[in-house]
Amino acid sequence: MTLITSAILIGTSSNLLADEEIAPAFGGLDDVVYSENLWTEMVTQHLVGPDALLSTPYEGQPPHGAILDTVDTRLTLRGNEGEVIIKRNYDGEGVSKLTVANDPTKYLKAVTVMYRRAGYDPENQDWFWVKYKPDGSLDVDSNGVELAGRIAKGMAEGCIACHRTAPGGDYVFNHDRYKTTSNIPGAPD
């Protein structure tokens, strides 16, 4: 009887695994490929990479860097025109607004990006999240999952959980997009 029960459980487990092959919230192949295309387009537009336009450095806070600079514009990728917010995260010994302004590549630790993709994740304002290393490769979480897509969706900590608390319901801390953007799902008229 034990052998039969084990066989039934194993068969049932196999079927459950096959039926539960659901795309991960983030780090899946589609998100990784999209993030690579996004990086390439941002390089072309001089938003990241060696010829990137920089903004004025300012003091940051965790989980980003001690010093940050942010560029906010629109970008078209694969037929989707959306807002893109690029935050360069600087840290290291001797980091300050002045040292970053004088030598940004020395202190750059990560590039975090929010890109609005129409229909991508309506319950989270359609933001596509990415954390790149300075060279444009994807950073990974503590489990080795690449940080691209709906990062930490449904979790208590992470990009979505933190940005959900931004004033105005737009997931953006540096200003309130609802007052200036009419194409946000659920935005007031």
The token pair at 110 is 């990560």
Name the residue range of residue 101's domain. Answer: 23-178
Q: Say if 125 falls within a structural domain.
A: yes
Is residue 31 scored above 60 in pLDDT? yes
pLDDT digits (tens, 9 = 90+) for 123-167: 999 999 999 999 999 999 988 999 999 988 888 888 888 888 888
Q: Say if 80 falls within a structural domain.
A: yes
Q: Say if 7 falls within a structural domain.
A: no
Task: Please state, in angstroms and rounded to a whole number, the distance separating the CA atoms of residues 88 and 165.
Answer: 21
**pLDDT reported for residue 140:** 95
Task: Report the pLDDT averaged over residues 104-125.
Answer: 96
Q: Say if 17 falls within a structural domain.
A: no
Burial of 59 (0-12, 13-18, 19+ CB in 10 A): exposed
Q: Say if 12 falls within a structural domain.
A: no
∠ CA 71-152-120, nearest 5°, is: 65
| Helix, strand, or coil (residue 165) | coil
**pLDDT reported for residue 40:** 98
Q: Say if 85 falls within a structural domain.
A: yes
| % of residues, the chain, pLDDT over 70 | 79
Please give the tally of structural domains in the chain: 1
pLDDT digits (tens, 9 = 90+) for 57-101: 999 988 888 999 999 999 999 999 999 999 999 999 999 999 999
Supply the mean pLDDT for the chain: 83
